[in-house]
Amino acid sequence: MKPTIIFDLGGVILPLNTELTRQKFLSYTNKDIQEWMKFGYPHQIIQKFELGKITEKEFFEELSDLLEFDKELYYLKDAWNSMLLPIPKENINYLKTLRESYQLILLSNTCETHIQCFEEMLNRFHNIESLEILFDKVYYSCRIGYRKPDIKLFQKVIKENQLDLSSTIYFDDTLTHIESAQSLNMKAIHYPANELLHQVIPEKIKSISNTLIHT
């Protein structure tokens, strides 16, 4: 059985710039949402959206009320998506290479609005319909009802994929997610945000365990 690499999405595979979203909200609403953007989007309505507990329409309507916004909701959606940057071609190519030797799993806190946005960018820039093409299994928080760092999410991934933790490694750019995975004895590495995969992964894998070296 192949060893397994579990990847976070935003800040690891897909570059993020939350400052772009903050600036757009500021320009559209004159409200600064900087506190909302810290530590994995702690605001309650964002968490509900990323858990699939509210629809896109409900999310932006509630957001509009909170920000006292009186224009079309399209502008808020535009601002919310502004943080998402195109996935670099180098990351696409490196994932294809890794998949020859590893089982790849994607584990992301995200919402349906962002999924639609980054899938459109994937299609536009890389002629790829979805990330399911690049991974053996994809977990989006909004579709499974669990959100990192909830330990139940990691337990679900381990059980469903019958993971051997001695040959599994997890990369995430958020320390609280890393700590949650490590509490289950998973090999988890804090990823330097927005760095290219091929410049980080090989040395990180070597530093963890020879059982994971296949490339």
Same domain, 136 and 53: no
Tell me, yes or no, whether 137 and 64 share the same domain.
no
Domain match, 95 and 73 both: no
Which residue in this structure is represented by tokens 């469903």?
160
Same domain for 120 and 204? yes
Question: How many other C-beta atoms lie within 10 A of the C-beta of residue 57?
Answer: 9
- Residue range 62-73: mean pLDDT, rounded: 91
- Domain end: 29, 56, 81, which one? 81
pTM: 0.93
One domain for residues 187 and 112? yes
User: Both 106 and 68 in a single domain?
Assistant: no
Is pLDDT larger for residue 153 or for residue 209? 153
User: Does 184 lie in the same domain as 166?
Assistant: yes
Helices assigned H by DSSP within 99-146: 112-126, 141-144
pLDDT digits (tens, 9 = 90+) for 161-201: 999 999 999 999 999 999 999 999 999 999 999 999 999 99
Same structural domain for residues 95 and 196? Answer: yes
Q: How many domains does the chain have?
A: 2
Residue 55 domain boundaries: 18-81
Contact residues for 162 (Cβ-Cβ < 8 A; gap 6+)? none
Question: Can you tell me whether residue 138 is helix, strand or coil?
Answer: strand
